[in-house]
Structure 1
Amino acid sequence: MQSDGSNDPEQRSGPIFLLLPINQAARKATENVLNSYYQWRDEDGNVIGLWIDLSDPSRSSITLGRADTNIHLPDTWSNTKGSTPHISSLHASFEVIPETGAVLLWDHSKYANVEPFVPNHPSGHSWTVKFRSSTRRSVIVARGINSYVAFGKDKWYQFEIQWRIEAMYGFDKDEPYHMGPKHAKTKRYVQLDKLGGGAYGNVYSALDATTGLLIAVKRFHSLSGKYLTFATREVANLRKKELRQHPHILRILDSAGGGEKDNWGEIFMPLQKGNLKDLLGTMPDEAQKWTLSEVVLRQMLSALECLEANHIIHRDVKPDNILWDYDENGNYTFCLGDFGLSNDPKVARTTAGTAPFMAPEVFYRQRQTTKIDIWSLYATIVWMRSRDFRSVCSSITAQELHHQLTEISKLPAYSNIRRMAAWNPRQRPSPSQQLYILDHGDYDFDETDGYAQAEQASSVEDDLANQFAQNMSLGDSSGPSLTYGSGSSEYPASPEVPYYEPYAPQVYFPQRGKGGMQQHRAEGGDERYYEPLQEGVESAPRDQGAWVTEYSDNTYGPIENQDTAVPATMVTAIPMTSASNQATLVDQGAGELDSEGQSYFEQGEFEYEQYLEERRAQKGKNKSYL
C-alpha cells in the first residue's frame, strides 16, 4: 500500500494506525510478501509499517496469525532463540467498537502470549493496560494507551502503534487521556465527563478499558465514617445474585479499592441514557407521561419485589433514581439505582430519603419495612401523572405532601394504585400484591404481610468474592452517639438525611447567616439550621442538617453553588434518642397512644402541631428527647 492521496488519513473517518516494527522479527514479518496489501512505504519505496484501516464500516476487525488472517505472522524456527514464537492460527485481532469508536486488541492465542508492554526506550509516555481476565482477553488501544504490543513467546514480534486517525467519540484528543482509578496501579477505564456529584462522591462517564463500552463510575470521597457505611452497603446489596440478575435493578459491573490500607473506593455500573426526571422533561404531552407511568409502575414493582425477597428496603425510590434505556425497537427499560441508603428492615430506623417521596412512617420515625418503597413508588407515579403535583411538591411541607398524595389516591383514575397510598403501612400491598391488583383487580390481603417478613433475618449471604466490601469492615462507623438538639428549641432538630444519586445528585447544606439564629427568627424563619460546610471532602456527610433540594433543570450539569438561604421546606423529623432513652421514644414518640389506646399514626390522623404541643408538655420529664 503506497502513501498516495487515495489513502490520505485526513480524508478518512475512522480509526487508522500504523504497526511500526521495533525489533528484527517484526521487521521481517512486516516485509513478508503475504502482507503486501497492508504494507506502508515511504517516498523511496521502503516498507516502514503495516497500515491498519478500520474506517470502512463494512470492516470491523483486522486479524493477525499464521493462517488465513489479514496480517501474517510466521511461526518459523529461530536458530538464535532456539525455538518458535508459538503463533496460533488466529493469534490476535484489532476490533473497532461501533458504539464508541474505541479499538480493542484481542488475544486469541493458545498460549495467551499477546502482551502490551513498555520498551527499553519508549518514544513517549504511554499507559500500559494489561489484560484483566483469562476468559475475555481484550484491552483498549488508543493514542497514549498501549502504544506498544508484542505477539508470540517472549515478546517475539514487537510493534509500536502510531495513530493517524483516532475515532473515539466524545474524547478530547488535544490532551493525554486520564486513566483511572487514580490510586490503583492497574488502570480500568478512560475517564470522560463528570455527570454529577453529591455528599458521598462523584459520578463520571468512562470508557471501560476491557470492553471499549461506556460505563458509569461512582467514586466515593473517602472510605471512613459514613462514607464507608454507604459505600459498603451499596456494594454488598448490589452484589447479591438476585439483584445482579434482575433486569430492572442497576447492575454493579465491578468495583475497585476498599482494601485495608485504601481510603478510596469506586464502583462501576452500566451507563444508562438518563433518569426518569430528565426523560419527562423532554415530553410535552401529559398523556404520554401517563402512558409511560404504567410502564414505570410495573417495572419498578418487579424491582421492589426482588428487593423484598432479599429483605432490602431501598428507602429512596424517586424519579432521579429510576434510570432508563431503550432497545432497537424503541421500547423503554427502567431500572432502579442508588442503593446507598438501602437497609435491612430489622435495622432500618434512621430518616433517609427525599421529602416529596418519603413515606409518613419514615418522616415520623416509625418502624420501617419494604412498604415505605411502595409509598415512594406511588408518589413517583403521581409525580409523573400530575403536573400540579410536580409544581407544588417542592414548595409545601411534608405533612401537606402526605395529605395531598392521600387525596389524589381517592380519584377514580388512581383506583388501581389507591392502596399504595394507605397512611398505615400495614394496609399497603406488597409489590406482588400490587402487581396482582393491576392484573386482576382488588386483592384481599393480610395486613401483617410484610411485617412478618421484616422480622426475618436475611439468609442471603453476600458473595463479595474478596472484593471491596469484604475488606470494608463497618465496625462502629457511627462514631460518637448522635444527638439532635438540646431541647432549647420547640422544633425537633433534623437528623441526617443522607442522599446520593447514581448519576446527578443535587445535595445542598443549609447555612447560618451572620446574625445567627436570632436574626433568622427575626426574619420569619422557623426551622433549625447549621453552620456552613466547607467545600471538598469535608463538606459531607454530617450527622445533622443535611437536606436535599427538590429538582433543577440541570440534572446532568455541574453541581450548583450551595445556597445561603435556609429552605422553607427543610425536612424536620422526630429525632432518635440515646440508647438509654430508646424505650421512651417508642412509647412516647410519634406512635403515642390516644385515650382509646390507638396511636395517632395508626389512626391516619396524625397532626404535627398537636404532636408538638403534647411533646412540649413532656420537656421537663424527658429533657434529652427534645
Structure 2
Amino acid sequence: MANHQPLFSLVPMNERAHEVVRLERNRDWRVKDREDKLVLCIGHLISRSGNATTLVTLGRDERNDIFVDSAQVANLQCSFEFNPDTYFVMFYDRSRAMTSKIHGRMCHPFQQGRPRKVLVHPGFNEFIGFGGENADSIQFRLRWHRDPNPNLADTIVNLNSELASPRVTQVRSIEPERSLIRWLNLGCLGSGSYGEVFQAINADDGNLMAVKIMRQRGNSQEREMWKARWMREVKILSEARHLHIVEYIGAQGWDGEKVSIFMGLKEGTLTSFVERELPLPRLGLSDIVFNHMLQAIDFLATRNIVHRDIKPDNILYVRQTDRYLFQLGDFGLSTRVVAEANPQGTPIYIAPELLQRGEVTHKADVWSLFITMIWISGNQQFRSLGDGYGKSLERTLEILSECTLSEPEYFERFRGMERINPQGRPSAAQLLLRYYGGEGLTTPRDQIPPLNL
C-alpha cells in the first residue's frame, strides 16, 4: 500500500542483487531510476512487519517485504528502521549468523560487542552486503532521495552551551573508554577558546547529540589544569541526572590531544526563545522558567553542587506536546560548595558574595536566577547595565533595586532573592515550597526552614 514519497533506493551492485530486484514478488518495490535502471525504492510503502518504525525487511521468508531467493540468506536477514525519536534511519542485521555488513568511504561498520544496528545517512554507510561467508553475496548501494530528518533544519542551537536531544541517553562512564561513542558530524555549531561544538548523530542509536571538543593547548601545567576542569565538569554532569538539567551522554579522549564531551541537543536557549519566538507572555514565561530552574538549583544543592553561571544563555528549552521544558546547561564553571573561589562568569549575574570572594553556596545560584528573572521582564534600566562590565557593585545594586520597585507585581514572588547577605537570601527549596506547594522538591520537606520575607 502506498505510503510516502521514496526515502532512498537500493541500487544493485552485483548480479545476485539484480536478481533480487527482478523477482516478481518484489514488483511493488521495484522502479526504474533516472538512468532507466531497475532499483528497489524504500519509504513509499508501508512495511508488512506490523512495526510502525520499520521501513522494510529483507530475507528468504516470503513474509518479508523484499523476498531474497537464496539459501545463503536468513529467513529474516536485515531491515531498515526509523529511530522513533529522531526519525533517522538505522540498518539492522537480523541474521543469527551475523552475515550482514555495511561499508563505504565514510563508514562505521558493525562491531563485536555492539548491537547489530548502525546509522545510514547520505554520504555515510552507503553500501550494504549480506549472505554468504563474507556477507557479500548480495550487495546494494543506498541512493538517497530526500533528507531522512526534514525537521533537522529547524533545530535551533546556541553556540556556547551544551545542548540536548528530547530523549535521555544512558549515561556512560568517564573512566577509560571501553566502547567509544561513534558519531556522524553534521556541522560546527560554534567555537571558542576551549575548542568547538558540533551537531552530531550517534552512529549506534540514531540520537542527536552536541559534541563539545576541547583541544589541550599550552604547556604541560596549563594542559593539566584544563583537563582537571573538564574532568570536574564531566563528573558533576554525570551525577546530575534531573529533568531540568541537560542530559549528559558521555565523554572520551582523556589520553589524547582532544577531549570530547557528548550532550543531548535542544531547540535553543532562553535567550533565543525570547529574542526569536516569545510565544508566551513574559509573566507566564517567567513563572515556568522560575519553577524549572528552582527545581534544578534545589537538586544541585542537595548534592553540594553550585552551578555559578546561571544566565539566559545557559538555560535551554525544548517544546513538548503542550508545554515547554527548560533545562540548566553549561556546567563549565560548576563546583562543589567551598569556602571561597575566584569570581568567574558574566559579572551582572555573579552573586555579590562571589565578587567579594566569599563562601560559594547554592545561594549564589539563587541570586543568578533572580537576575535572570529581571532579564526576562525586559526592564530597560536593567538592559542599560549590559553585562555589568565597567559598573561598580554599588551602582549595579542600586539599579537592580530600582528595577524591582518599578514593577512590584512582577517581582513579588522574587522578593528576598535580591538580598546581599546570602544567609538572608531564600533557598530554592524554600521558594519551591512557598510558591509551588513543593512541586519538584528534592530537599526533604522536614529539612526546609520557614521562609520569612
What's the TM-score once normalised by structure 1's chain length? 0.56
Equivalence for 2:165: none
State the shift of 1:321 in Å. 0.1
Equivalence for 2:434: 437
The SS at the match of 1:419 is coil
State the shift of 1:361 in Å. 0.8
AA aligned to 2:124 is: I
How many pairs does the alignment contain? 395
Equivalence for 2:57: 63
Instruction: Give yes or no for contact 2:6–2:41 (8 Å, CA) kept in 1.
Output: no
Instruction: Give yes or no for contact 1:23–1:157 (8 Å, CA) kept in 2.
Output: no
Equivalence for 2:159: none
Equivalence for 2:228: 229
Residue among 329, 334, 338 paired with 1:337: 329
> How far apart are the structure 2 equivalents of 1:405 and 1:383?
11
AA aligned to 2:270 is: L
Equivalence for 2:314: 321
AA aligned to 1:17 is: S
> How far apart are the structure 1 equivalents of 2:364 and 2:33?
71
> How far apart are the structure 1 equivalents of 2:138 and 2:307?
52
Identity %: 28
AA aligned to 1:114 is: S
Equivalence for 1:290: 283
Cα separation, partners in 2 of 1:36 and 1:397, compared to 1, 3 Å = same
Give per-residue Cα distances to partners, 1:340-388, cap 9 Å, x unaligned: 1100113651221211111001111111111110100111011111422
Cα separation, partners in 2 of 1:64 and 1:389, compared to 1, 3 Å = farther
Cα separation, partners in 2 of 1:398 and 1:44, compared to 1, 3 Å = closer
Instruction: Give yes or no for contact 2:340–2:358 (8 Å, CA) kept in 1.
Output: no
Residue among 348, 363, 369 paired with 1:356: 348
The SS at the match of 1:320 is helix
Instruction: Give yes or no for contact 2:180–2:252 (8 Å, CA) kept in 1.
Output: no
AA aligned to 1:71 is: I
Mapped pair 1:148 → 2:127: yes
Query: What does residue range 19-418 of structure 1 map to in structure 2 within 5 Å?
Result: 19-22=11-14, 24=16, 26=17, 29-39=20-30, 50-55=39-44, 61-67=55-61, 68-74=63-69, 76=71, 85=73, 87=74, 89-96=75-82, 102-117=88-103, 126-131=105-110, 136-152=115-131, 154=133, 155=135, 157-163=137-143, 165-168=145-148, 169=150, 188-222=182-216, 224-240=223-239, 243-244=240-241, 246-258=242-254, 260=255, 262-282=256-276, 288-329=281-322, 331-346=323-338, 349-394=341-386, 397-399=391-393, 400-409=395-404, 412-413=408-409, 414-418=411-415
Instruction: Give yes or no for contact 1:18–1:49 (8 Å, CA) kept in 2.
Output: no
Instruction: Give yes or no for contact 2:382–2:399 (8 Å, CA) kept in 1.
Output: no
Instruction: Give yes or no for contact 2:215–2:258 (8 Å, CA) kept in 1.
Output: yes
> How far apart are the structure 2 equivalents of 1:164 and 1:64?
18
Give per-residue Cα distances to partners, 1:63-91, cap 9 Å, x unaligned: 11233111123562xxxxxxx55x1x433
The SS at the match of 2:289 is helix
> How far apart are the structure 2 equivalents of 1:346 and 1:367?
6
Structure 2, unaligned runs of 5 or more: 154-176, 218-222, 439-446, 449-453
Q: Which has the larger radius of gyration?
A: 1
- RMSD (Å), alpha carbons: 3.5
State the shift of 1:420 in Å. 1.6
> How far apart are the structure 1 equivalents of 2:348 and 2:35?
74
> How far apart are the structure 2 equivalents of 1:347 and 1:137?
51
> How far apart are the structure 1 equivalents of 2:436 and 2:250?
37
Cα separation, partners in 2 of 1:194 and 1:65, compared to 1, 3 Å = same
Instruction: Give yes or no for contact 2:33–2:39 (8 Å, CA) kept in 1.
Output: no
State the shift of 1:217 in Å. 1.6
> How far apart are the structure 1 equivalents of 2:264 and 2:112?
19
State the shift of 1:295 in Å. 0.3
Cα separation, partners in 2 of 1:317 and 1:28, compared to 1, 3 Å = same
Instruction: Give yes or no for contact 1:409–1:421 (8 Å, CA) kept in 2.
Output: no
Cα separation, partners in 2 of 1:108 and 1:430, compared to 1, 3 Å = farther
The SS at the match of 1:203 is strand
> How far apart are the structure 2 equivalents of 1:29 and 1:335?
50
Instruction: Give yes or no for contact 2:306–2:334 (8 Å, CA) kept in 1.
Output: yes
AA aligned to 1:353 is: G
The SS at the match of 1:282 is helix
Give per-residue Cα distances to partners, 1:207-236, cap 9 Å, x unaligned: 332343432221113272443133212211
More strand by percentage? 2
State the shift of 1:116 in Å. 1.2
Instruction: Give yes or no for contact 1:66–1:91 (8 Å, CA) kept in 2.
Output: yes
Cα separation, partners in 2 of 1:238 and 1:131, compared to 1, 3 Å = farther
What's the TM-score once normalised by structure 2's chain length? 0.76
> How far apart are the structure 1 equivalents of 2:115 and 2:317?
28
The SS at the match of 2:417 is helix
Instruction: Give yes or no for contact 1:101–1:167 (8 Å, CA) kept in 2.
Output: no
> How far apart are the structure 2 equivalents of 1:164 and 1:334?
35
Instruction: Give yes or no for contact 1:106–1:139 (8 Å, CA) kept in 2.
Output: yes
Instruction: Give yes or no for contact 2:102–2:128 (8 Å, CA) kept in 1.
Output: yes
AA aligned to 1:37 is: D
Query: What does residue range 513-552 of structure 1 map to in structure 2 within 5 Å?
Result: none
The SS at the match of 1:192 is strand
Cα separation, partners in 2 of 1:430 and 1:186, compared to 1, 3 Å = closer
Cα separation, partners in 2 of 1:347 and 1:205, compared to 1, 3 Å = farther
> How far apart are the structure 2 equivalents of 1:150 and 1:360?
64
The SS at the match of 1:95 is strand
Give per-residue Cα distances to partners, 1:76-111, cap 9 Å, x unaligned: 2xxxxxxx55x1x43321235698774321233344
Cα separation, partners in 2 of 1:408 and 1:390, compared to 1, 3 Å = closer
AA aligned to 1:93 is: S
State the shift of 1:290 in Å. 2.0
> How far apart are the structure 1 equivalents of 2:372 and 2:137?
59
Give per-residue Cα distances to partners, 1:533-574, cap 9 Å, x unaligned: xxxxxxxxxxxxxxxxxxxxxxxxxxxxxxxxxxxxxxxxxx
Cα separation, partners in 2 of 1:43 and 1:315, compared to 1, 3 Å = closer
AA aligned to 1:147 is: E
Cα separation, partners in 2 of 1:340 and 1:112, compared to 1, 3 Å = farther
State the shift of 1:141 in Å. 1.8
State the shift of 1:292 in Å. 0.2
Mapped pair 1:423 → 2:420: yes
State the shift of 1:143 in Å. 3.6
> How far apart are the structure 1 equivalents of 2:125 and 2:137?
15
